[in-house]
Chains A and B, each alone.
Chain A
């Protein structure tokens, strides 16, 4: 099952020195944070704020290459989460055929925002995200945190 999500914001994470893209579903019940690098974060923020640069940036070029070739971005899907790495696929329509191309979510989202294509997240990723967060919490718990309940 896929859930459609929207980019709600961009945050700076001082601990990892990276940026976090916040995706939320329509009803605001599901939230997915995705860590991205600085250039990808600025590519996403330019698109969110509708900033146009005098020269095409990398994701503008990506969009124009596809447009020039008459390929249409149908959707992008965040498909998986493995070892803290998110995976995405870009779905294209080209000459009556569908194509699906592996991408980092950051590139996929930067392209989706420019091509006005919807962003979907696989429900497994939303669930995994919650359980991996839980794992990280448990990893960070020190032995003394458990000690309190020792008889």
Chain B
């Protein structure tokens, strides 16, 4: 069954609300700002996402820059990334790659953590989607605190 996909954009990366937590939270929203998806990521992945958001070009390619360079060199294009599932608080994502092998186009799918998928999508200007099922399973109490923070001064008040 094909599930409905909702396009999201990354609003920002914030430190976790829990003190001394090593995690960071990536906030994604749909165009109408009615759906918000917070995804917890590690420090390294959070940094990788933040650098791409800020358009920072590091002197040497970082790990996700390297993945982008590898795919570009091999003529693979990232058509989209999709947050597909959530199980036991772990989010799952898929990266869709299009390959042009001797005039024959094929689509490849690779399983990934959402953090890597997002870091890569931002570097390749690829769209980010989430399935309706994942949004339906979000508990409001997990989303509301981040909605408040998105509107706060600290975050630049982008909402």
Contact = CB atoms under 8 A, between A and B. Distances in A.
A150 interface: no
A65 interface: yes
B111 to A, nearest CB: 7
Interface string A70-102: 010000000000000100001010110001011
Contact residues of B: prevailing secondary structure:
mixed
Contacts of B43: 39
B113 A65 contact: no
A85 B64 contact: no
Interface in A42-83: 43, 54-59, 61-62, 64-66, 68-69, 71
A127 interface: no
Most buried by A among B71, B90, B116: B116
B101 A61 contact: no
B69 A58 contact: no
A58 B76 contact: no
B60 interface: yes
Interface string B37-49: 0000011110000
A98 to B, nearest CB: 11
B151 interface: no
Most buried by A among B61, B66, B99, B116: B66
Given A39-B44, A55-B113, A95-B101, A65 B70 contact: yes
Contact residues of A: prevailing secondary structure:
mixed
B74 A58 contact: no
Interface residues of A, number: 29
B63 interface: yes
Given A101-B66, A101-B69, A103-B66, A65 B60 contact: no
Interface string B16-52: 0000000000000000000000000011110000000
B89 to A, nearest CB: 12
A102 B65 CA distance: 10
B109 to A, nearest CB: 8
B97 A68 contact: yes
10 contacts: A55-B92, A61-B112, A65-B95, A66-B70, A68-B97, A68-B108, A71-B74, A90-B70, A99-B74, A104-B62
